[in-house]
A and B are shown apart, each in its own frame.
Chain A
Amino acid sequence: GNSVTQMEGPVTLSEEAFLTINCTYTATGYPSLFWYVQYPGEGLQLLLKATKADDKGSNKGFEATYRKETTSFHLEKGSVQVSDSAVYFCALRGGGNKLTFGTGTQLKVEL
């Protein structure tokens, strides 16, 4: 079946540091890939998505590129802010239209 593997957290960075959160997936066919973000006390919200190989999703300074050859969709940001502190979930939508989520990676950004 489909699965998503994310790096374990928490990831702690200083403000303005470079961020990478790794995500790899297992799926048949050509899934769509997503990053969702959960701020403290809130539900998840879609951050970005990519629907086919080599697509780059981007939003709010975050980027992720759909790499079919490495089955990866790593999330990156060049300069993080304290306000980026949240839990980030990688997800895929494969056959049957079901969303499969990773376990989430907590990011803490300190001044």
Chain B
Amino acid sequence: NAGVTQTPKFQVLKTGQSMTLQCAQDMNHNSMYWYRQDPGMGLRLIYYSASEGTTDKGEVPNGYNVSRLNKREFSLRLESAAPSQTSVYFCASSGTGESLNEKLFFGSGTQLSVL
């Protein structure tokens, strides 16, 4: 009963380093999302993928890239990390039978610190 699985759970990077956050869902959902959560700011959408083979920018896409590898997996890449990208990152998915964004299932998050 895994749901949405994110890796890693914690990561510390130096400014300028790159890394990829991995996300996989086992619910056969069409849509997947990446959010960041910052104190006092709520959740903000970085990128989303409405279906396999498509990706679209969200509210705060600068400094990030995504890949929808297949229906199950949606990765988020930081090419050159900056301290402003210190945040908690959440992957989410939503189901085929639901309207887009109607009910999201979230992973447990990745806490990223950029020094």
Chain A residue total in the interface (Cβ 8 A): 19
Q: In the assembled complex, how far is the CB of residue B1 from the closest CB belonging to chain A, in whole angstroms?
A: 14
The majority secondary structure among interface residues of chain A is strand
* A44: interface (CB < 8 Å): yes
* A83: interface (CB < 8 Å): no
Partner of A41, one of B92, B103, B108: B108
Q: Are A93 and B42 in contact (CB under 8 A)?
A: no
**Chain B positions 27 through 44: 1 when the CB is less than 8 Å from some CB of chain A, otherwise 0:** 000000000000011111
Q: Are B104 and A44 in contact (CB under 8 A)?
A: yes
CA of A103 to CA of B44 in the docked complex: distance in angstroms? 10
Inter-chain contacts of A89 with B (CB < 8 A): 42-43
Inter-chain contacts of A99 with B (CB < 8 A): 45, 101, 104
Partner of A45, one of B40, B99, B101, B105: B105
Inter-chain contacts of B58 with A (CB < 8 A): 98
Residues of B within 8 A of A (CB): 4, 40-45, 58-59, 90, 92, 99-109
Shortest Cβ-Cβ A-B pairs, 7 listed: A43-B106, A101-B42, A97-B100, A101-B43, A103-B42, A44-B106, A99-B101
**Could you list 10 A-B pairs, sorted by A, with CB under 8 Å?**
A36-B104, A43-B4, A43-B92, A43-B108, A44-B92, A44-B104, A98-B58, A99-B104, A102-B42, A103-B41
